[in-house]
Amino acid sequence: MSSVRPLAEIRTEIDQIDAEILQLINRRALCAEEVAKTKIAEGEQGTFYRPDREALVLRRIKELNQGPLPDHTAMRFFRELMSACLALEKPLEVAFLGPEGTFSQQAVFKHFGSSVNTLPVAAIGDVFNAVELGKCHFGVVPVENSTEGVINHTLDRFLTSPLKICGEVEIRVHQNLMGHAESLAGITEIFSHQQSLAQCRKWLDTHLPQVKITAVSSNAEAARMASLNKQTAAIAGLAAAEVYQLPVLETNIEDQANNTTRFIVIGKQDSSPTGKDKTSLVFSTGNQPGALYRALESFAKFGIGMVNIESRPSRQGLWEYVFFIDIDGHSEDPQVAEALDLLKANVNMLKLLGSYPKAVL
């Protein structure tokens, strides 16, 4: 028989460890408070949140971790720890596309941890407004979905907004059918946000081809509406089912198994280089042959990888376009800085939307 330690003995050790962890956590919190005081003494204004420093802390935890806890779990603990330390000064206020229970709110908590105050607003443009007007420190908006592509509202708003991108976060999006109907046959109408409907198009065509489909302002609003009428259902995330106490009729009905939405964090602050960054920018070229080719050549010349390109109407002349691009690296990295100088010489308009750490969690 293998010898095992008595339960009581193991529990005594756990109690001791917990007491030590608690002391260490509070020691860490005191240091974070001291950092805040130093920042004030050095004349730093506004928020003490530093996306670059937080990314470095999390990446270091991943490197140090030797298990048995998985890296991801260890990083999530430290994500919460930093969130709580920062909130000792003053909790961050973060605007998102509401109401409560949307994927955007999930993205806020994944990126900032749970010690933040979330401010739900009614539209993507209102998230920008809230940050621009100083009603909150940051905003989180969806920018692209792996099934449905780019979120036009978000890109277009950047053309006129002075805000910067200071972070990114990805959420694996599961869609679910929820409502008070006894079975699928009892449903006459389905509510959801247009993005979610598009992500479940095949499932709907196969399972509910005759049902009326109505696009509404958010998935949480869809859940709220479905909670009022037994013959209707909503497509939304499980958080919305919980908020509106709706039974879940079918889970994971998204057409693509790895359906993921990328969100960006918008604010007034620049993020310093961390060694693993992305830079987002928008530019326009003239209509001459080879104009886009020459613009992109700036990146190729300096060996800069391009992660994404999207064209959108410029909203100035007919059939004139702007190009939104994400590249590897930070605008202060020497190679990137040189590529951007060359790009500037080759385009009509160039606007840097921000350099920020690549998503860690």
Ligand X SMILES: C=C(O[C@@H]1C=C(C(=O)O)C=C[C@H]1O)C(=O)O
Question: What ranges in the chain are assigned the alpha helix state H?
Answer: 7-41, 51-64, 71-89, 103-112, 124-132, 152-158, 194-199, 201-207, 219-226, 238-243, 291-301, 334-346
User: Is residue 82 close enough to count as binding ligand X by CB under 6 A?
Assistant: yes
Instruction: Determine how many CB atoms are found less than 10 A away from the CB of residue 84.
Output: 17
Instruction: Point out the catalytic residue in the list 138, 263, 299, 324.
Output: 263
DSSP 3-state of 207:
helix
Nearer to ligand X, 90 or 315 (CB): 90
**Any contact of residue 35 with ligand X (CB under 6 A)?**
yes
- Looking at residues 148 to 167 of the shown chain, list those that interact with ligand X (rule: CB under 6 A): none
Decide if residue 263 touches ligand X (CB under 6 A). no
Give the largest CA-CA distance in the chain: 82
Q: Is 103 a catalytic residue?
A: no
**263 a catalytic residue:** yes
Applying CB under 6 A, the site for ligand X has a residue count of 11
CB of 49 to ligand X, least distance (A): 4
Residues 6+ apart with CB under 8 A from 4: none
Residue identified by tokens 């998204």 is 254
Is 94 an interacting residue with respect to ligand X (CB under 6 A)? Answer: no
Q: Is 48 in the site for ligand X (CB under 6 A)?
A: yes
137 or 330: whose CB is closer to ligand X? 137
With respect to ligand X, which residue has the nearer C-beta, 246 or 360?
Answer: 360
Work out which of 53, 59, 230, 276 binds ligand X, going by CB under 6 A.
Answer: 53
Using alpha carbons, select from 154, 153, 192, 151 the residue that is nearest to residue 175.
Answer: 192
β-partners of residue 52 are none
CB of 103 to ligand X, least distance (A): 24
Looking at 45-53, 68-76, 119-127, 312-320, which segment touches ligand X (CB under 6 A)?
45-53
Tokens linked to 274: 């961390």
Task: Give 282's strand partners.
Answer: 324, 351
Point out the residues that are catalytic.
261, 263
Residues that bind ligand X (CB under 6 A): 32, 35, 48-50, 53-54, 57, 82, 85-86
